[in-house]
Amino acid sequence: MKAALVTGASSGIGAATARRLDREGYTLLLVARREERLRALAAELRSAAWLAADLTADGAPAQLAAWVADEWGRLDLLVNNAGAAWRARFGDPDGGYASAQRNMELNFFATVRVTEALHGVLRRSAPSAIVNVCSVSSRIAMRSAGAYSASKFALAGWTETLRFEEAPHGVHVGAVFPGFITTEGFPQADLRERRLTRWMVSADTDKVADAIYAVGPGGRPERSVPRAFGLVGPLRHVTPWLWRLVGPRIRR
């Protein structure tokens, strides 16, 4: 039996990932806040259980760990996909520290806490894997998304460190960097409305799910979706003047 836990599984990339893993024969534990969505998705799949939980709540990580222990006693794959973006400029009334804290709590700290809670069972289940769903915003920053980008930069850096630390224990750690993927939580309306940027937007969450599978069970260190977005980070560092010219015109 191969067991996988997917957070943020109720829609978008998380739901697509659950369906992809189901086709590969995984038994699934689905985690998100919306119970009715999880129940409907689980009913589609061959073997899936679900837990409605707010991952920023104090007791949520321990609850997940107990659930995994009760259901399986092992975990072959953890997909940390849960995330959201609260857009605001730093000087806006809803920006500043409050916005940074809100983004960090879900996009970074919740992932760290969940991974910590499941760390032991992942090592005992080795070879196993962790996939952290980052973002193109882990590589570049855009106006009105500073707090979100900061949380994803943090996630990308922590993922790389964790990869080095866990490799000797048989736990592979990788990252997926989606570009501008249209989902319920990320409608990408600003980009789709502009002729200059609408080409950047994709609605194909299945491609992100394929990348997650390639990074997790497939053992790749990272994957960008679309692949060309893997050049964004290097270009940003090689030609910083270009991003300073283009960046202010793009909003997440």
Catalytic residues: 148
N-terminal to C-terminal alpha carbon distance within the chain: 40
Structure-token pair, residue 154: 């943090």
User: Would you say 229 and 135 are in contact if contact means Cβ atoms under 8 Å apart?
Assistant: no
Q: List beta partners, residue 171.
A: 128
Residue type at 141 in one-letter notation: A
Structure-token pair, residue 112: 């760290």
Sheet with 171-178, strands from edge to edge, namely 48-52, 26-32, 2-7, 77-80, 128-133, 171-178, 222-225
User: Would you say 176 and 208 are in contact if contact means Cβ atoms under 8 Å apart?
Assistant: yes
Radius of gyration of the chain from its Cα atoms, rounded to whole angstroms: 18
User: Would you say 112 and 157 are in contact if contact means Cβ atoms under 8 Å apart?
Assistant: no
